Amino acid sequence: MNNTSGNYSAANHQWVSDAQTDAFIYNNGSYNQCLISLDSAWRKRLEHVNHTGIAGIGIWALGYDNGYTELWDGINDYLTDCYADPCSGVIHDFGGPEKNYYNNEDYTWTIAPPGATSIDVDFTMFDVETDWDYLYIFDGPDDQSPQIVGSPFTGTNSPGQFSTSGGALTMRFYSDGATVTPGFLANYQCQTQPAPVATFSLNSQVICQGDSIQLINTSTDGDTYSWTTSAGGLSSSAVQSPFLFPASSATYTIGLTVNNSTGSDQSIQQFYIQVDPHPVAIADVSNSVIGIPGGVAGFTNSSQNATDYYWDFGDGSSSQEVNPWHAYSSGGNYTVMLVASNQGCGGDTTYIDLKVSEAGIINLTTEVIELYPNPNNGQFSVIHTKTGERIEIFDQIGRLILDQVASDGITMIQLPNAASGIYYLKYRDRSIKFELQ
């Protein structure tokens, strides 16, 4: 309206609470009262349409908006499938906050504010016809949800204060064909869930091959979870704290999306994960049958992924050398054990069967000679069955490097100044090629 008369001014405006409408009251020679629905009153009526499910609403002169869009905006906000209940408000019967309700009412409405986790309700007034008119209250989104304790309510038996178990509240009011009373009035306030915050960590970044890492979910206010990874399998992509199975050492990109009724949040992090191999014990012996006296066995350690070694020679003796040798003093059958281990991934064990024969059981006139270890660093052992013979070492062009008399059973050789390369050891009529590193 253009208000050329000046009668529709702020000074003449009043809010008529029992009608939930605006009024302009003025005297231009006679007393006048004009009831008109402005923005807030118009929205209150549209809210009532949504809550009660009535068939329609009368609108007059909406087309004369004179460029003011507030009333059209109300229709756009309320008469749509996208309408959302506010998080707080007032609940009352058809008569409004101050009038009696009507006969023959039977309507159902639901309040379900977006993101609400529960709704707190406080009935400040309740007075319906006893045993004829009823208010049913359902703890959920429809009239198939369970009723709250005491429902249906009649007479002055007020629902009082209560909270729903979820984010929706449904009510149905029924009145018969006679006798009306003030009805009911209540305030409600919803409780909302905070937006989720996605955070996580790993329980370890160094593992052994075949083991797993747990992704520790430290997110807050999450209802559902979704995990992704750039490589490696997950025990589940939807549980709170799944397990990751890295196949090899690498940088892994891990993502977590956390959701709840309010929204979602995502965390993407990169971790370098070290996957260490398990040790594998591999061992061999120079001869699986040796004789005494001079019963010396040399052991070759070809273990993989190991840093520490423990040898048990089966006769009560042991060693932690990489490639040991051992002299047996008694004949018999021995089981030699090697445990190869590393600090992170445990150990592995292998066994060697060894026979030590007493003199006379094997032919000690048969020449036995071993050089151990081979390759070596210039310090090595020569194992033999003859004593007093000469041990000679030559380089590749035939120059004599060492001439030494063999001792009993085993002779220790040291070549501290020899260059790396291929050399030849001569013992009686035997020759052994070895490498100096």
Domain boundaries, the chain: 10-78, 88-192, 200-276, 277-364, 367-437
Please report the pLDDT score of residue 104 as a whole number.
Answer: 94
Domain 367-437, CATH: 2.60.40.3080
Please report the pLDDT score of residue 330 as a whole number.
Answer: 85
Q: pTM of the prediction?
A: 0.52
- What CATH superfamily is the domain 277-364? Immunoglobulins (2.60.40.10)
Q: Which of 100, 103, 94 is nearest to 176 (CA)?
A: 103
Please report the pLDDT score of residue 61 as a whole number.
Answer: 62
Q: b/e string for 230-253 if b means 16 or more Cβ within 10 A?
A: eebebeeeeeebbbbbbeeeeebe
Q: CA dihedral defined by 202, 206, 212, 213, rounded to 10 degrees?
A: 0
Beta bridge partners of 193: none
pLDDT per residue rounded down to tens, the chain (437 residues)? 567 788 888 888 888 877 778 888 888 888 888 877 787 888 888 887 777 767 777 776 665 667 778 888 888 887 777 777 788 888 888 887 788 999 999 989 999 988 888 999 999 999 999 999 999 999 999 999 999 999 999 999 999 999 999 999 999 999 999 999 999 999 999 998 888 999 999 999 999 988 999 999 999 999 999 999 998 789 999 999 999 999 999 999 999 999 987 889 999 999 999 999 999 999 988 777 777 766 778 888 999 999 999 999 999 999 999 988 888 888 889 999 999 999 888 899 999 988 887 754 444 344 557 787 888 888 888 887 667 788 888 887 778 899 888 877 788 889 988 899 988 888 876 778 888 88
Please report the pLDDT score of residue 388 as a whole number.
Answer: 75
Residue linked to tokens 């014990």: 281
Q: Which of 299, 422, 432 is nearest to 369 (CA)?
A: 432
C-alpha span between 335 and 351 (Å, rounded): 7
Report the Cα–Cα distance between both ends of the chain, in Å, rounded. Answer: 106
Complete edge-to-edge strand list for the sheet that includes strand 200-202: 200-202, 213-217, 243-245, 233-234
Sequence-distant (≥ 6) Cβ neighbours of residue 66 within 8 angstroms: 1, 2
- What CATH superfamily is the domain 88-192? Spermadhesin, CUB domain (2.60.120.290)
Q: Do domains 88-192 and 277-364 have the same CATH topology?
A: no
Beta bridge partners of 58: none
Domain 200-276, CATH: 2.60.40.10
